[in-house]
Chain A
Amino acid sequence: MSTKHGKKGDILLEMKDIRIDGFSDERWHKIIKGIDLTLHRGEVMGLIGESGAGKSTLGLASMGFTKPGCKITSGSVVFDGKDLVTASEDEKRSLWGTRIAYVAQSAAASFNPAHRLLNQTVEASLNQNLQSRDLAEADARDLYKQLQLPEPENIGDRYPHQVSGGQLQRMMTAMAMSPRPDLIIFDEPTTALDVTTQVEVLVAMRSIVEKFNTAALYITHDLAVVAQMADVIKVLRYGKEVEEADTRKMLKSPKEEYTKSLWSVRALEKAEAPSDDIILSINNVDAAYNGSLKVLHDVNIKIPRGRTVAVVGESGSGKSTTARVITGLLPPMVGNVEFNDGALPAELKDRTKDQLQRIQMIYQSADTAMNPRQTIAEIIGRPLEFYHGLSGLQKQERILELLKMIELDESFYDRFPSELSGGQKQRVCIARALAADPEIIICDEVTSALDQIVQEGILKLLLNLQKEYNITYLFITHDIAVVNAISDEIVVMYQGAVIEQGLKSEIMSPPHPEYTQLLLNSVPEMDPDWLTKLVKSR
């Protein structure tokens, strides 16, 4: 089926010198500073860039829509011959949902929990009287089948909470596809999914977009994903275009320095160094929440001193629960944690100050890990006075020293967390952990909320600190690129059990246990043919 309104290769969407302002802190800021964009029918364009680059704002602007507090100040958005900037609300509304569809990052937040999925899938088609309910529902079931959803005949009768995250994301693609739009905007549709789930969703989305010859804007910060999905890539930064080129050309020979730096992040790799000096070992641990829901099954992990052990696995595999057992937040039912040859008390309240000081933790979200009402000096200074009894000038000097260690200058001393960027916040969290003078730091997905370039900075910092102070890391992550960059040893977890533990080189080279194989296969590579090859090899 070709698109209803034209043939492949025609220009579908043309944005000229679009400028968007946003209102915050009592003044207008420029968010998009003049971008041109041309999208042909049946073409998929990837929009990439770090957060704040204006990807999502530009994506929404292609529908003629801006978020509350934003406005299009100049430029034009011509969709199929009609300028959406000057179009009336009614005109735009007749396009939205039917000829232009939007797939958001969080599918769970985009579905109405009170209605069955099938009704929501066909809603847009019915509202615009595109087809009868029977036809629309039959078509929706067909879409479910093509998106490889289980039980395509009946799955529509379920409610949103009755399907998994990956299924819901595909469901949303079905909803967007139901009226056969000319253009779909995918806004980070797989960012919240596990790698193993992400592959399924990517395959489904790509095949259906190809089949119906739909044009798409694919917004993401993940280069490897965009390499699979897009025909053309446009790189954005600070609301401006850095460069645009065909995917293959862009991957092979990026022109701009910024693009090159984006590409190089994934090349970071630590040379592994084996060690037998065990600092912390988790022995035969079983753990459960509320005494009933068992989440860890006979977990054994050994962590050598001054090394990094990466724990990988999808969400729900027990990675973070393991961290909670080590810190004493969740006492194990069976087994124990040995630290420096002595067993740690299971409960947090039974541990001595000395034991607490030696094990520190850094969280995934630096936003919630720092009290918004405390200054950076208070945040970093508290462990200093609490563990080491420092005060006054001594404390102040040590804080400045720590700031220097995390590559921030003294101007950060009396700032509040809200005045810092994401990467800076995570650095302050690292400084707070360092302030305690720990022997081991547990890093729980510390880089997964950050942009690639910022990630690289944090990883390099952690590596340098390890070299200098011989700190041990337990690094929880789901990102294989991060594992490569930082670890000496790897622990693979699945459904609360350890699948294997070993040196990085051992784990990364075949033969693999079944799950490790699946996990490694699911990690997108920068090769644009990767997904095609993967589908073929199945």
Chain B
Amino acid sequence: MTDTPQAYSAAAEIGQIRERRTWIQIAKIELKKAPYSAWFGLIVIAIYLFVAIFAPLLAPHGEAEIFPASFAPWGGDFVFGTDQIGRDIFSRLIYGARNTIGIALATTLLSFAIGGSLGLIAAISGGWLDQLLSRFVDVLMAIPGLIFALMLLTIFGSSILSLIMIIAVLDSTRVFRLTRSVSVSVVVMDYVEAAKLRGEKLGWIMRREILPNIMPPLIAEFGLRFSFVFLTIAALSFLGLGIQPPTADWGSMVRDNASMIQFAKYDLTAALTPMIPAGAIALLTVAVNFVVDWFLHITSGLNDEH
């Protein structure tokens, strides 16, 4: 580099220009560097999604189709046998992916819509509104979640709609807290003040100035929340208050077939039957967590190589 001094010129001040990458290129680069755990998680999630979307094509039998043979053994026409009233377990597993994941996804989205927007409003406006919302959330969070959900479900009845609404509201408390705390540090930035001075409306400031800057932690939280919602629904179904028959769902499948575990000394495969939906729940939870870990690692800018 020659040190030819000159009067200041802004154009000459340019250092190295970083090449602009599209997000697809960035994703490709990051995927190449991704650890095995992240790959494992991504593949598992992809398989689950595939199964959920194409359930009617993949399932050999109908979701609630009843066959004369109840408690049929593994093999033959029924890969994992049939349940207590003669429904094909394998088909119900496949449909279960669709129901359980679909409901969990809808619930998580709703809880983010509620918690996220209220959290942003609390952070931007501050003052008494922030206090009111935050204390209300504190109160909600002080009540044990599962018990509260059970109570509300008994009051409102356990339809899928009320299930989604109740879990979404209860879960939105955590989303609210996260959104509020990450927004608070963005709200004090000069560019938010500049937008206020320009006369921008609250909605614009939320959407355009703040939201893009808090996306990484929110996306990571979305993955984790999804796992928890998924587990909560499974737990509620296991307790009989979640997704109701004949809709196939992994939580209730564990409950329905739980007693078969006692037959382990006669037929090992029969005892394994209730473990399969339980395993499906566990596997997806682990997979989502792996991906979230990886994502957080990238976006937080932590590099352990140097």
Chain B 1-41, CB-CB to A under 8 Å as 1, else 0, gives 10111111111011101101000000000000000000000
For the complex, give the distance between the alpha carbons of A365 and B191 in Å: 10
Taking the complex as formed, is B189 at the interface, i.e. its CB lies under 8 A from any CB of chain A? yes
Chain B 180-195, CB-CB to A under 8 Å as 1, else 0, gives 0000000001110110
On whether A361 and B5 interact (CB within 8 A), knowing A371-B191, A421-B15, the answer reads no
In this complex, the interface size class of chain B, counting residues with CB under 8 Å from chain A, is 20 to 34
- The chain B residue sitting closest to A418, CB to CB, is B18
Taking the complex as formed, is A518 at the interface, i.e. its CB lies under 8 A from any CB of chain B? no
Interface positions of B from 189 to 234, Cβ below 8 Å from A: 189-191, 193-194, 196-200, 208-209, 212-213
CB-CB under 8 A from A374, the residues of chain B are 208, 212
Interface size on A, residues (CB 8 A): 51
Once the chains bind, are B13 and A361 in contact (CB under 8 Å)?
Answer: no
Taking the complex as formed, is A390 at the interface, i.e. its CB lies under 8 A from any CB of chain B? no
CB-CB under 8 A from A328, the residues of chain B are 197
Taking the complex as formed, is B265 at the interface, i.e. its CB lies under 8 A from any CB of chain A? no
Once the chains bind, are A238 and B15 in contact (CB under 8 Å)?
Answer: no
On whether A457 and B198 interact (CB within 8 A), knowing A368-B191, A371-B212, the answer reads no
CB < 8 Å: which of A23, A353, A369, A370 contacts B199? A353
Give chain B nearest CB distance to A455 CB in angstroms: 9
For the complex, give the distance between the alpha carbons of A242 and B15 in Å: 19
For the complex, give the distance between the alpha carbons of A368 and B185 in Å: 11
On whether A408 and B10 interact (CB within 8 A), knowing A23-B306, A258-B3, A365-B190, the answer reads yes
Taking the complex as formed, is A406 at the interface, i.e. its CB lies under 8 A from any CB of chain B? yes
On whether A371 and B10 interact (CB within 8 A), knowing A329-B197, A356-B199, A363-B190, the answer reads no
Chain A 236-260, CB-CB to B under 8 Å as 1, else 0, gives 0110101000000000000011101
For the complex, give the distance between the alpha carbons of A436 and B6 in Å: 32
CB < 8 Å: which of A256, A327, A368 contacts B5? A256
CB < 8 Å: which of B5, B10, B18, B306 contacts A419? B18
For the complex, give the distance between the alpha carbons of A436 and B198 in Å: 9
Once the chains bind, are B306 and A454 in contact (CB under 8 Å)?
Answer: no
Chain A 116-160, CB-CB to B under 8 Å as 1, else 0, gives 000000000000000000000000000000000000000000000
Chain B 286-306, CB-CB to A under 8 Å as 1, else 0, gives 000000000000000000001
CB-CB under 8 A from A387, the residues of chain B are 198
On whether A407 and B191 interact (CB within 8 A), knowing A329-B197, A373-B213, the answer reads no
Give chain A nearest CB distance to B249 CB in angstroms: 40
Once the chains bind, are B213 and A372 in contact (CB under 8 Å)?
Answer: yes
- The chain B residue sitting closest to A408, CB to CB, is B10
Chain B 60-102, CB-CB to A under 8 Å as 1, else 0, gives 0000000000000000000000000000000000000000000
Give chain A nearest CB distance to B160 CB in angstroms: 37
Taking the complex as formed, is A234 at the interface, i.e. its CB lies under 8 A from any CB of chain B? no
For the complex, give the distance between the alpha carbons of A327 and B190 in Å: 13
CB-CB under 8 A from A454, the residues of chain B are 8, 13
CB-CB under 8 A from A414, the residues of chain B are 20
For the complex, give the distance between the alpha carbons of A141 and B254 in Å: 75
Once the chains bind, are A386 and B198 in contact (CB under 8 Å)?
Answer: yes
Once the chains bind, are B13 and A423 in contact (CB under 8 Å)?
Answer: yes
Chain A 325-345, CB-CB to B under 8 Å as 1, else 0, gives 001110000000000000000
Interface positions of A from 405 to 440, Cβ below 8 Å from B: 406-409, 414, 419, 421, 423-424, 427, 432, 436
Once the chains bind, are A361 and B14 in contact (CB under 8 Å)?
Answer: no
Once the chains bind, are B193 and A329 in contact (CB under 8 Å)?
Answer: yes
Chain A 393-409, CB-CB to B under 8 Å as 1, else 0, gives 00000000000001111
Once the chains bind, are B18 and A25 in contact (CB under 8 Å)?
Answer: yes
Once the chains bind, are A257 and B197 in contact (CB under 8 Å)?
Answer: no
Q: Closest 8 CB pairs between A and B?
A: A257-B5, A457-B8, A373-B212, A258-B5, A369-B190, A368-B190, A356-B199, A363-B190
In the assembled complex, 22 residue pairs joining A and B whose CB atoms fall closer than 8 Å, in A order, are A68-B306, A69-B306, A238-B1, A238-B3, A240-B3, A257-B4, A258-B5, A328-B197, A356-B199, A368-B190, A368-B191, A374-B212, A382-B198, A406-B10, A408-B10, A419-B18, A421-B14, A423-B8, A423-B13, A424-B10, A427-B10, A453-B8
